[in-house]
Structure formats: C-alpha cells, structure tokens
C-alpha cells in the first residue's frame, strides 16, 4: 500500500508548466475560491510583508481597472481590448512591476 501525502495549508506563488516533470506520478487539483474570505487560522500565518504586498497588489489592480475603463470610454473599446491596450501604455506597463 502506498502512502499518500496530502498538502492542505500552503500558498501558491507561481504555477509553471514543464515538458519533463520530476515526479510523473504526481497529481494536482487546483480550485479557485468564490469569496476572498480567509480560512480560519490562516490569518496568523500572514506576515507584515505579505500584508503589504497584498495592499500594493490591490492598489495596482484598482489602478489597472480604472485605466482600462477610462481607455475603453475614450477609445470605444471592449473591456478585454481596453485592458490589453492599457497594459501596452507606460502607465500600464508599470502594473507588472507593482504586482511582482
């Protein structure tokens, strides 16, 4: 009988696809949560640096949304086209630096 290790409490910072996996028998299931409410007991794990990063990310996302909405109105673009166009502007290009 094989032993199964189930990871229950962790944070995913990056997901990468590879053509030659190290563990070919590994199975991963990822689910997206509908609400941003943290799980009980998880708040104790959050450090000030993580909280600061989340605040910067939220501010950057709000600026991205506002910039894309303004561009959509000014240029008459659809929402996806406006986001794409905004990310190509100097202001939009700084978005990636703010969230990474």
Condensed to tens digits (0 to 9), the pLDDT of residues 1-49 reads: 567 777 778 777 777 777 777 777 776 666 666 666 555 555 545 556 6
Cα of first residue to Cα of last residue in the chain, in angstroms, is 42
At 44-66, the pLDDT tens digits run 455 566 667 778 888 888 888 89
C-alpha angle 91/92/98, rounded to 5°? 90
Q: Where are the domains of the chain?
A: 48-99
pTM: 0.48
């Amino acid at each position: 009988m094989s032993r199964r290790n189930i990871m229950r409490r962790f944070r995913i910072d990056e997901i990468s696809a590879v053509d030659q996996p190290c563990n070919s028998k590994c199975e991963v299931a990822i689910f997206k949560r509908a609400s941003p409410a943290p799980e009980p007991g998880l708040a104790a794990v959050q450090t000030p640096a993580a909280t600061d990063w989340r605040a910067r990310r939220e501010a950057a996302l709000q600026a991205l949304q506002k910039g894309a909405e303004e561009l959509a109105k000014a240029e008459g673009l659809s929402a996806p086209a406006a986001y794409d166009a905004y990310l190509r502007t100097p202001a939009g290009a700084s978005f990636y630096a703010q969230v990474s």
